[in-house]
Amino acid sequence: MYDYDMVVIGSGPSGRRAAVQCAKLGKAVLVVEKGRRVGGVSVHTGTIPSKTLRETVLNLSGWRERGFYGRSYRVKQDIAASDLMIRLQKTLDHEVEVLEHQFSRNLVRTANGEARLVSPHEVEITSGIGETKIVTAAFILIACGTRPFRPADVPFDGHSVLDSDEIIELTKLPRSLAVIGAGVIGVEYATIFSALDVPVTLIEPRPTFLDFIDKELIDEFMHELRDRNVALRLGSKVTSIEKNAQGSIVTHLSDGRHVGTEMLLFAAGRVGATDRLNLEAAGIAVDHRGRIKVDPVTLQTSVPHIYAAGDVIGFPSLASTSMEQGRVAACHALGMEPLAPPEFFPYGIYSVPEISTAGLTEEEVRTRGIPYEVGIARFRETSRGHIMGLNSGMMKMIFSTKTRRLLGVHILGEGATELIHIGQAVLNLKGTIDYFIQNTFNYPTLAEAYKIAGLDAWNRMTR
């Protein structure tokens, strides 16, 4: 009756995982990707590029060794934008090759072109040379992702005023940078350029930022940023942005201050890339940011056979959760009841230093009225931290004093996004403080911080 069992619009994390899941269940699936190569925003402008740039910067700048050799230490004295782009291109080529091979061996078909719904079961695909064809599908998954929010009053020019897609195509490094928007993307890029010793000003209209992260971690993070001469302009809205006669970008703030820099990155939000999908033809509505509302369990839209997953449905907009959303949507569409997801998943912010968290923050524990105790470990207290020359970094663990269960783990510092998985496992298995006290960790490792923080909390709980 239909050409395909499922048509997937977009080949990012949620689209690829859904397509492969369908194929492994023996179904005919087509992935439509409007970009030149598969991979979506995650591979080409988002997750992989930003993390590759971060790793390149930390390696070439000698950032990780400065604890021993001083702040002036560098592996490469003169770092150019071309140095960053070489590694980036190699990484992206590898990611695309892996994904193409994954599609090929699972018999997932792909079509290059722009998708547009013409009815609830029909998708029109327009190629780059204007040719069109219509395919039909029993189920449709919208996994088109997002693009940067670009207000009309921001003078984007692709050279000195950029969005987060354009920043990865730099031809030269700026001598100074202003970043508007202290969300995950803005914070990541601000700290990456700061690690290159570029003077950075981070501007955020709200008095706080990254509010879903434990406040004590953010306080520690802000202290480290200020110690690196990152200027924070919190609680001030941007009133105007202009280019002066000297070629500098001047950002005027509502408190009367202004910020003059050679380059500006506008990273204040993203919008769903849904405006050209003709969703109204299938009876699907979007919110003011172009996002699609779905059932949180099944990921069905208001039209039962059409699903949506990934960044286009909003929070948490993580590549890791998007992958799982794609798999769950595919399973549900094809009549399989996927297992209930674990209660806790990790957040990872690839700033410099990294931030990663799982479970409840201290603020959430207080709001719920749970009696608790906190354990802290500093990375510099561990032998591994000393070997690595770490002067900063911390782990914070929260335990219930009534049940002794772990409630939350919050990490700031080197390797945070890797270390968090130990805490995530204990959280989802409903483990207690006794695991950390009694367990043996490799020595010397940063993972020892779990034992140090556990003992720190236990000492307070038993007084």
Instruction: Give residue-wise pLDDT tens across range 229-279.
Output: 899 999 999 999 999 988 899 999 999 999 999 999 999 999 999 999 999
pLDDT at position 71 is: 77
Q: How crowded is residue 339: how many other Cβ atoms within 10 Å of its Cβ?
A: 7
Q: Coil, helix or strand for 8?
A: strand
Q: How far apart are CA 8 and CA 11, in angstroms?
A: 8
Q: How far apart are CA 105 and CA 98, in angstroms?
A: 11
Q: How crowded is residue 66: how many other Cβ atoms within 10 Å of its Cβ?
A: 16
106-117 exposure pattern, b = at least 16 Cβ within 10 A, e = fewer: eebbbbebbbbb
pLDDT at position 462 is: 73
Q: Which residues of the chain have pLDDT under 70?
A: 463
> What are the DSSP calls for 308-367, one per residue?
E-GGGG-TT--HHHHHHHHHHHHHHHTT--PPPPPS---EEE-SSS-EEEEE--HHHHHH
User: Is the Cβ–Cβ distance between 180 and 306 less than 8 Å?
Assistant: no
CA atoms lying within 13 Å on the CB side of residue 441: 19
pLDDT at position 74 is: 81
pLDDT at position 280 is: 96
User: Is the Cβ–Cβ distance between 385 and 393 less than 8 Å?
Assistant: yes
User: Is the Cβ–Cβ distance between 67 and 24 less than 8 Å?
Assistant: no
Percent of the chain with pLDDT over 70: 100
pLDDT at position 463 is: 65
What one-letter code names the amino acid at 306?
Answer: I
pLDDT at position 42 is: 85
Gap between the terminal Cα atoms of the chain: 71
